[in-house]
Chains A and B, each alone.
Chain A
Amino acid sequence: MRTRFVVGLMLALHVSLGATVYEKECVGCHQELDVGIDKFFYRYVLVFSSEVSVKAALKDYLMYPMKEKTLLPEGLVEKYGIKAPWTLGEAALEEAIDTYWETYTFMGRLK
């Protein structure tokens, strides 16, 4: 029992230490929502098109979230409300957004 606890603790520490900002701060929360995090990406691309515009729009919304800026459908906004502003600093946010872009971008994935 004791051995199992130690192994579990070590595993949790490894995951926590090795995970990226995006994985720690974004993926975890979005797993609790009905809509997958990838769908938000497609929605942003649909509206803002280019990498620069998408990243700028995401950064702006995550730092200063407002109802007027969200791309969430009305029903989801009412259900989950507007998220709290990002508090981990601009650099960490940019890193998370870059990872998000790299994960879901259409570029290089079309066949």
Chain B
Amino acid sequence: MAFLALYLTLSCAILGLFGVGYYALQKEAMLSLKRGELNALANEHVKALRALHVAFDKTQEYPRHEAFRSGIFDGAAVEIFSLLHVSPLLSRIIYLKEGMIHYIKEPEAHYLGTQYLVLEVEDDGAWHHEALRNMAWFGGGIFLFLAVGGYFLLRLLLRPMREAIALLDRFIKDTTHELNTPIHAILSNIEMIPLQTLEPKTARKLERIRLGAQSVSHLYQDLTYLTLGHHQARHESEVQVDVVAQERVEYFALSLEAKKITWAVDVAPAVLWIDQGALTRLVDNLLSNAIKYNRVGGSLHVRVAPGVLEIKDTGIGIDASKLARVFDRYVRCHESAGGFGIGLNIVGMIAKEYGLKLALESTKGEGTCVRVLW
């Protein structure tokens, strides 16, 4: 649609340019037609001026004509006598000004001192109306043709791209769906293994496998939200934000321990009308970022109170210049950790969907605090 709008805007601009050219041509044609007519009248008037010049001691009556008004000006463009309604431009020959057509003639001799004789007639505007009518009909017709033609041409041009996008979309959805089963299999099987019976070295390896599988599971959840989220049925209900926050911190406990991050959860009962899956995605993404960008041995503080969820870390912080764009898709504030820049975009989408307010404070090198307010 944006492409079509751009195409139509450009078409309008080109048509407008042609319209201006056509209008100027019509005006020139009208003036050219008038020029011959006015030149004949001017010649007659010059004869009358000559007669007055010769007999000036007998009469000083300036010659007048019903068909036009006139004025005479000397070589220094000083008015000798004028009946004109509009002041003339003596450097031109014929032009339209303030609804009047002026024709300027320089007689062969300066009768009464006349260097410039100006004839003035009113423009009836017929050419103007005809030009506008033609422009409206032809311009409108061409625009309609361009719009319809452009629409079909655009569809034709975009078809391969649409097909490629649809194919890619289907592939991502199918792949995402297929990821679910093996991830769940890995995670549930690890859960079933009693770690205390294993050798410490094997247990550590298994922990690392579980951590990796959790990361893939997290990515899977994000992909599911992005690709299928808008088509999935929502089940909004009153959700205990404090309970969800507590659960999700426990879920990330392994990741926190792996990075030696100390954490504190300070929750008070808080209720929010939301789809539980969406809230989980929101909390997970905020926690995931707080862990990912935290320093080793740092701290994490999660606070829930009525109307607020706050997640504060002691990480590397975000540059002030990037703060305004952190919720845009594929925007990454740091290259130090992995990711695709979709986490905070998902947070932003969920917040927008449920009317939640996001407040982000960050100090470079000290940490970041995200508040979700409702």
Interface residues of A (CB under 8 A from B): 38, 42, 45-54, 106-107, 109-111
Contacts and interface: CB of A to CB of B under 8 A. Distances in A.
Contacts of A52: 76
B76 A45 contact: no
A51 B78 contact: yes
B18 interface: no
* Of B74, B75, B114, most A-chain CB atoms within 10 Å: B74
Interface majority SS on A: helix, strand, loop or mixed? helix
Given A111-B60, A111-B61, A111-B62, A46 B78 contact: no
Interface majority SS on B: helix, strand, loop or mixed? loop
Interface residues of B, number: 19
B60 A46 contact: no
A48 B110 contact: yes
A110 B112 contact: yes
A111 B110 CA distance: 19
Given A50-B74, A53-B75, A106 B113 contact: yes
Given A49-B115, A51-B76, A110-B80, A38 B110 contact: no
Interface string B96-136: 00000000000001111111000000000000000000000
Nearest to A45: B113
Contacts of B76: 49-53
Interface of B: 53, 56-57, 60-62, 74-76, 78, 80-81, 109-115
B62 A49 contact: no
A49 B75 CA distance: 6
29 contacts: A42-B53, A42-B56, A45-B112, A45-B113, A46-B109, A46-B111, A47-B109, A48-B75, A48-B110, A49-B74, A49-B113, A49-B114, A49-B115, A50-B75, A50-B113, A50-B115, A52-B76, A53-B75, A53-B76, A106-B56, A106-B80, A106-B113, A107-B81, A107-B113, A109-B60, A110-B60, A110-B80, A110-B112, A111-B60
Contacts of A47: 109-110
